[in-house]
A and B are shown apart, each in its own frame.
Chain A
Protein backbone atom coordinates (compact mmCIF):
# COMPACT_ATOMS: atom_id res chain seq x y z
CA UNK A 1 0.00 0.00 0.00
CA UNK A 2 1.29 3.44 -0.90
CA UNK A 3 1.87 5.77 2.07
CA UNK A 4 -0.61 8.25 0.62
CA UNK A 5 -3.35 5.59 0.59
CA UNK A 6 -2.52 4.64 4.16
CA UNK A 7 -2.78 8.25 5.28
CA UNK A 8 -6.03 8.70 3.40
CA UNK A 9 -7.49 5.57 5.03
CA UNK A 10 -6.35 6.75 8.46
CA UNK A 11 -7.99 10.13 7.88
CA UNK A 12 -11.26 8.47 6.80
CA UNK A 13 -11.25 6.23 9.88
CA UNK A 14 -10.50 9.16 12.17
CA UNK A 15 -13.32 11.20 10.64
CA UNK A 16 -15.69 8.26 11.03
CA UNK A 17 -14.76 7.83 14.70
CA UNK A 18 -15.04 11.59 15.26
CA UNK A 19 -18.43 11.63 13.59
CA UNK A 20 -19.61 8.73 15.73
CA UNK A 21 -18.57 10.50 18.93
CA UNK A 22 -20.16 13.74 17.76
CA UNK A 23 -23.39 11.90 16.97
CA UNK A 24 -23.40 10.14 20.34
CA UNK A 25 -22.68 13.43 22.09
CA UNK A 26 -25.56 15.18 20.32
CA UNK A 27 -27.90 12.24 20.90
CA UNK A 28 -27.26 12.23 24.62
CA UNK A 29 -27.36 15.97 25.04
CA UNK A 30 -29.47 16.91 28.07
CA UNK A 31 -31.86 19.84 28.13
CA UNK A 32 -29.94 23.04 28.71
CA UNK A 33 -29.12 24.02 32.28
CA UNK A 34 -30.49 27.53 32.40
CA UNK A 35 -28.57 28.37 35.57
CA UNK A 36 -25.54 28.92 33.35
CA UNK A 37 -27.42 30.55 30.49
CA UNK A 38 -27.89 34.22 29.75
CA UNK A 39 -31.49 35.40 29.49
CA UNK A 40 -32.72 36.99 26.28
CA UNK A 41 -35.27 39.07 28.22
CA UNK A 42 -35.90 40.19 31.79
CA UNK A 43 -39.47 41.17 32.51
CA UNK A 44 -42.00 41.45 35.35
CA UNK A 45 -44.74 38.80 35.57
CA UNK A 46 -47.41 41.45 35.03
CA UNK A 47 -45.80 42.93 31.90
CA UNK A 48 -45.17 39.43 30.55
CA UNK A 49 -48.82 38.41 30.92
CA UNK A 50 -50.01 41.72 29.45
CA UNK A 51 -47.79 41.28 26.40
CA UNK A 52 -49.52 37.95 25.58
CA UNK A 53 -52.98 39.12 26.59
CA UNK A 54 -52.83 42.23 24.41
CA UNK A 55 -51.15 40.77 21.34
CA UNK A 56 -50.56 37.05 21.46
CA UNK A 57 -49.08 36.89 17.99
CA UNK A 58 -46.48 39.58 18.55
CA UNK A 59 -45.61 38.25 22.02
CA UNK A 60 -45.28 34.70 20.63
CA UNK A 61 -42.83 35.81 17.96
CA UNK A 62 -40.85 37.78 20.51
CA UNK A 63 -40.74 35.37 23.45
CA UNK A 64 -41.38 31.73 22.44
CA UNK A 65 -38.26 29.53 22.65
CA UNK A 66 -36.39 32.39 24.31
CA UNK A 67 -34.84 32.34 27.77
CA UNK A 68 -36.76 34.73 30.03
CA UNK A 69 -36.09 36.00 33.56
CA UNK A 70 -39.49 36.73 35.11
CA UNK A 71 -39.80 38.58 38.41
CA UNK A 72 -42.88 38.46 40.57
CA UNK A 73 -44.70 37.15 43.61
CA UNK A 74 -45.53 33.47 43.98
CA UNK A 75 -49.29 32.93 43.85
CA UNK A 76 -49.27 29.16 44.28
CA UNK A 77 -47.05 26.10 44.18
CA UNK A 78 -48.27 22.71 42.95
CA UNK A 79 -46.28 19.51 42.97
CA UNK A 80 -46.79 17.44 39.86
CA UNK A 81 -45.87 14.05 38.47
CA UNK A 82 -42.25 12.85 38.69
CA UNK A 83 -40.85 15.50 41.05
CA UNK A 84 -41.96 18.45 39.01
CA UNK A 85 -43.22 21.66 40.57
CA UNK A 86 -45.40 24.28 38.98
CA UNK A 87 -45.02 27.76 40.39
CA UNK A 88 -47.64 30.35 39.40
CA UNK A 89 -46.60 34.00 39.50
CA UNK A 90 -49.17 36.69 40.23
CA UNK A 91 -50.15 39.11 37.50
CA UNK A 92 -52.67 41.93 37.35
CA UNK A 93 -55.11 39.49 35.73
CA UNK A 94 -56.84 37.17 38.20
CA UNK A 95 -57.58 34.47 35.63
CA UNK A 96 -54.14 34.35 34.10
CA UNK A 97 -50.69 33.93 35.60
CA UNK A 98 -47.19 32.89 34.61
CA UNK A 99 -46.84 29.13 35.16
CA UNK A 100 -43.25 28.02 35.61
CA UNK A 101 -42.42 24.30 35.58
CA UNK A 102 -39.36 23.07 37.47
CA UNK A 103 -38.26 19.62 36.26
CA UNK A 104 -35.55 19.14 38.85
CA UNK A 105 -35.25 21.36 41.86
CA UNK A 106 -33.51 20.36 45.07
CA UNK A 107 -34.40 23.20 47.39
CA UNK A 108 -38.16 23.68 47.35
CA UNK A 109 -38.24 25.64 50.63
CA UNK A 110 -37.95 28.91 48.70
CA UNK A 111 -41.07 28.07 46.72
CA UNK A 112 -43.70 29.52 49.05
CA UNK A 113 -46.80 31.54 48.24
CA UNK A 114 -46.17 35.23 48.79
CA UNK A 115 -42.39 35.04 48.27
CA UNK A 116 -40.72 37.39 45.83
CA UNK A 117 -38.74 35.54 43.20
CA UNK A 118 -36.96 35.76 39.86
CA UNK A 119 -37.43 32.63 37.76
CA UNK A 120 -35.57 31.80 34.54
CA UNK A 121 -37.23 29.56 31.99
CA UNK A 122 -37.86 28.92 28.32
CA UNK A 123 -41.16 30.31 27.08
CA UNK A 124 -43.46 27.67 25.50
CA UNK A 125 -46.28 30.07 24.70
CA UNK A 126 -49.72 31.01 25.99
CA UNK A 127 -52.76 28.92 26.85
CA UNK A 128 -54.74 30.65 29.58
CA UNK A 129 -51.45 31.49 31.26
CA UNK A 130 -47.99 32.20 29.95
CA UNK A 131 -46.01 28.97 30.22
CA UNK A 132 -42.32 28.58 31.07
CA UNK A 133 -40.38 25.32 31.07
CA UNK A 134 -36.97 24.07 32.31
CA UNK A 135 -37.20 26.64 35.08
CA UNK A 136 -34.52 27.54 37.62
CA UNK A 137 -34.52 30.06 40.45
CA UNK A 138 -32.30 33.07 39.74
CA UNK A 139 -32.98 34.98 42.94
CA UNK A 140 -35.39 34.69 45.83
CA UNK A 141 -36.41 36.72 48.84
CA UNK A 142 -37.95 34.93 51.79
Chain B
Protein backbone atom coordinates (compact mmCIF):
# COMPACT_ATOMS: atom_id res chain seq x y z
CA UNK B 1 0.00 0.00 0.00
CA UNK B 2 2.82 2.34 0.95
CA UNK B 3 4.59 1.49 -2.26
CA UNK B 4 1.38 2.08 -4.15
CA UNK B 5 1.09 5.60 -2.77
CA UNK B 6 4.73 6.29 -3.52
CA UNK B 7 4.15 5.05 -7.05
CA UNK B 8 1.12 7.31 -7.34
CA UNK B 9 3.14 10.26 -6.13
CA UNK B 10 6.37 9.67 -7.99
CA UNK B 11 5.19 10.51 -11.53
CA UNK B 12 3.80 13.86 -10.46
CA UNK B 13 7.00 14.80 -8.68
CA UNK B 14 8.77 14.34 -11.97
CA UNK B 15 6.39 15.51 -14.66
CA UNK B 16 3.54 17.47 -13.22
CA UNK B 17 3.75 21.21 -13.10
CA UNK B 18 -0.02 21.60 -12.79
CA UNK B 19 -0.96 19.70 -9.68
CA UNK B 20 -3.36 16.88 -10.39
CA UNK B 21 -2.78 15.15 -7.11
CA UNK B 22 -3.44 16.57 -3.70
CA UNK B 23 -2.28 15.11 -0.48
CA UNK B 24 -2.38 15.31 3.29
CA UNK B 25 -0.67 13.38 6.05
CA UNK B 26 -2.47 15.33 8.76
CA UNK B 27 -6.06 14.44 7.97
CA UNK B 28 -8.72 13.90 10.62
CA UNK B 29 -11.05 10.93 11.02
CA UNK B 30 -13.10 10.58 14.16
CA UNK B 31 -15.90 8.31 15.22
CA UNK B 32 -18.67 8.66 17.74
CA UNK B 33 -21.19 6.29 19.19
CA UNK B 34 -23.86 7.05 21.74
CA UNK B 35 -25.65 4.71 24.12
CA UNK B 36 -27.49 5.40 27.36
CA UNK B 37 -24.50 3.96 29.26
CA UNK B 38 -21.68 5.91 27.73
CA UNK B 39 -20.39 7.75 24.69
CA UNK B 40 -17.60 6.31 22.64
CA UNK B 41 -15.46 8.85 20.88
CA UNK B 42 -12.06 8.65 19.25
CA UNK B 43 -9.98 10.92 17.03
CA UNK B 44 -7.24 10.23 14.56
CA UNK B 45 -5.19 13.20 13.36
CA UNK B 46 -2.67 11.22 11.34
CA UNK B 47 -4.70 10.22 8.31
CA UNK B 48 -2.75 9.98 5.06
CA UNK B 49 -4.80 10.66 1.95
CA UNK B 50 -4.32 11.35 -1.73
CA UNK B 51 -6.92 12.93 -4.03
CA UNK B 52 -6.44 12.83 -7.79
CA UNK B 53 -8.55 15.61 -9.27
CA UNK B 54 -8.20 14.34 -12.84
CA UNK B 55 -9.79 10.97 -12.09
CA UNK B 56 -11.58 11.67 -8.80
CA UNK B 57 -9.73 8.82 -7.14
CA UNK B 58 -9.36 8.97 -3.39
CA UNK B 59 -7.22 6.89 -1.08
CA UNK B 60 -7.21 7.10 2.70
CA UNK B 61 -5.18 5.14 5.13
CA UNK B 62 -4.95 5.18 8.90
CA UNK B 63 -3.19 3.33 11.65
CA UNK B 64 -5.67 1.91 14.16
CA UNK B 65 -3.26 2.70 16.99
CA UNK B 66 -3.41 6.38 16.06
CA UNK B 67 -7.01 6.64 17.31
CA UNK B 68 -6.93 8.68 20.48
CA UNK B 69 -9.53 8.20 23.24
CA UNK B 70 -10.14 10.31 26.33
CA UNK B 71 -10.23 7.15 28.41
CA UNK B 72 -7.07 5.05 28.44
CA UNK B 73 -8.89 1.80 29.19
CA UNK B 74 -11.30 2.30 26.29
CA UNK B 75 -8.34 2.80 23.96
CA UNK B 76 -6.75 -0.39 25.24
CA UNK B 77 -9.94 -2.42 24.74
CA UNK B 78 -10.47 -0.89 21.29
CA UNK B 79 -6.99 -1.97 20.19
CA UNK B 80 -6.73 -5.33 21.92
CA UNK B 81 -10.26 -6.75 22.05
CA UNK B 82 -12.06 -5.24 19.08
CA UNK B 83 -9.66 -4.10 16.36
CA UNK B 84 -6.77 -6.48 17.12
CA UNK B 85 -4.44 -3.72 16.00
CA UNK B 86 -1.25 -5.70 16.62
CA UNK B 87 -2.38 -8.16 13.97
CA UNK B 88 -4.27 -5.71 11.75
CA UNK B 89 -2.56 -2.34 12.10
CA UNK B 90 -4.16 -0.44 9.19
CA UNK B 91 -7.47 0.56 7.77
CA UNK B 92 -7.83 1.66 4.16
CA UNK B 93 -10.41 3.28 1.91
CA UNK B 94 -10.00 3.28 -1.85
CA UNK B 95 -12.67 4.90 -3.96
CA UNK B 96 -13.64 7.74 -6.22
CA UNK B 97 -15.87 10.75 -6.58
CA UNK B 98 -18.71 9.60 -8.84
CA UNK B 99 -19.93 13.06 -9.87
CA UNK B 100 -16.54 14.57 -10.65
CA UNK B 101 -17.94 16.72 -13.46
CA UNK B 102 -19.94 18.78 -10.99
CA UNK B 103 -16.75 19.99 -9.27
CA UNK B 104 -14.81 22.87 -10.81
CA UNK B 105 -11.36 22.58 -9.26
CA UNK B 106 -10.36 25.88 -10.86
CA UNK B 107 -13.09 27.84 -9.14
CA UNK B 108 -13.11 28.64 -5.43
CA UNK B 109 -16.28 27.30 -3.84
CA UNK B 110 -18.00 24.39 -2.18
CA UNK B 111 -19.33 21.40 -4.10
CA UNK B 112 -21.45 18.43 -3.03
CA UNK B 113 -20.01 15.09 -4.01
CA UNK B 114 -20.81 11.42 -3.79
CA UNK B 115 -17.99 9.05 -3.03
CA UNK B 116 -18.08 5.30 -3.46
CA UNK B 117 -15.44 2.71 -2.86
CA UNK B 118 -14.05 -0.09 -0.75
CA UNK B 119 -13.61 0.42 2.96
CA UNK B 120 -11.35 -2.11 4.67
CA UNK B 121 -11.54 -2.29 8.44
CA UNK B 122 -10.36 -5.23 10.52
CA UNK B 123 -9.39 -7.03 7.29
CA UNK B 124 -13.00 -6.99 6.06
CA UNK B 125 -13.82 -5.01 2.92
CA UNK B 126 -17.24 -3.53 2.25
CA UNK B 127 -18.53 -1.30 -0.53
CA UNK B 128 -19.72 2.02 0.80
CA UNK B 129 -21.31 5.07 -0.76
CA UNK B 130 -21.42 8.36 1.05
CA UNK B 131 -22.13 12.03 0.52
CA UNK B 132 -19.53 14.65 1.19
CA UNK B 133 -18.32 18.05 0.18
CA UNK B 134 -15.29 19.38 -1.65
CA UNK B 135 -14.23 22.90 -0.92
CA UNK B 136 -11.80 24.52 -3.34
CA UNK B 137 -9.76 27.19 -1.57
CA UNK B 138 -6.70 29.16 -2.66
CA UNK B 139 -4.27 27.02 -0.61
CA UNK B 140 -5.66 23.69 -1.74
CA UNK B 141 -8.74 21.54 -1.32
CA UNK B 142 -10.77 20.70 1.76
CA UNK B 143 -12.91 17.59 1.89
CA UNK B 144 -15.55 16.66 4.44
CA UNK B 145 -17.85 13.75 4.96
CA UNK B 146 -19.98 12.09 7.59
CA UNK B 147 -21.34 8.57 7.41
CA UNK B 148 -22.28 5.65 9.60
CA UNK B 149 -20.68 2.27 9.89
CA UNK B 150 -21.83 -0.83 11.73
CA UNK B 151 -19.02 -2.68 13.58
CA UNK B 152 -20.75 -6.01 12.89
CA UNK B 153 -20.27 -5.50 9.14
CA UNK B 154 -16.52 -5.64 9.73
CA UNK B 155 -16.59 -8.76 11.91
CA UNK B 156 -15.69 -6.78 14.98
CA UNK B 157 -16.84 -9.12 17.72
CA UNK B 158 -18.40 -7.43 20.65
CA UNK B 159 -19.02 -9.81 23.57
CA UNK B 160 -22.65 -10.18 24.70
CA UNK B 161 -21.90 -8.70 28.10
CA UNK B 162 -21.01 -5.29 26.69
CA UNK B 163 -22.93 -5.46 23.42
CA UNK B 164 -25.67 -3.18 24.66
CA UNK B 165 -23.10 -0.74 25.99
CA UNK B 166 -21.57 -0.23 22.58
CA UNK B 167 -23.51 1.60 19.94
CA UNK B 168 -24.78 -0.54 17.06
CA UNK B 169 -23.74 2.11 14.62
CA UNK B 170 -20.90 4.63 14.75
CA UNK B 171 -20.85 8.02 13.12
CA UNK B 172 -17.62 8.64 11.24
CA UNK B 173 -16.41 12.18 10.51
CA UNK B 174 -13.80 12.86 7.85
CA UNK B 175 -12.05 16.23 7.56
CA UNK B 176 -9.19 16.65 5.10
CA UNK B 177 -7.11 19.68 4.17
CA UNK B 178 -5.24 18.76 1.03
CA UNK B 179 -2.25 20.58 -0.40
CA UNK B 180 -1.04 20.23 -3.96
CA UNK B 181 1.81 17.78 -4.25
CA UNK B 182 4.99 19.75 -4.79
CA UNK B 183 6.16 19.63 -8.39
CA UNK B 184 9.84 19.49 -9.05
Contacts and interface: CB of A to CB of B under 8 A. Distances in A.
Given A80-B28, A81-B45, A127 B73 contact: no
5 contacts: A27-B73, A29-B71, A30-B70, A86-B45, A125-B63
Chain B facing A: main interface SS: strand
B26 A127 contact: no
Interface of B: 2, 5-6, 9, 25-26, 28, 30, 43, 45-46, 48, 61-63, 65-66, 68-73, 75, 86, 89-90, 175, 177
Nearest to A124: B65
A28 B90 CA distance: 27
A81 B30 contact: yes
A120 B77 CA distance: 24
Contact of B43 (A60, A82, A126, A129): A82
Interface string A48-90: 0000000000001000110000000000001011101010100
Contacts of B26: 78, 80, 86, 99
Nearest to A100: B46
A26 interface: yes
A128 B181 CA distance: 14
Given A86-B46, A133-B66, A127 B90 contact: yes
A91 interface: no
Contacts of B43: 81-82, 84
Given A29-B72, A29-B73, A31-B72, A127 B46 contact: yes
**Chain A interface category by residue count:** 20 to 34
A90 to B, nearest CB: 14
A103 to B, nearest CB: 6
Given A30-B72, A78-B26, A124 B48 contact: no
B68 A125 contact: no
B45 A128 contact: no
A131 B66 contact: yes
Contacts of A65: 65
B63 A124 contact: yes
B46 A81 contact: no
A31 B68 contact: yes
Given A80-B45, A128-B2, A27 B28 contact: no
Given A125-B89, A129-B48, 6 more contacts: A86-B45, A124-B65, A125-B66, A127-B62, A128-B48, A133-B66
Interface in A88-129: 88, 95, 99, 101, 103, 124-129
Given A27-B73, A81-B28, A99-B25, A127 B61 contact: yes
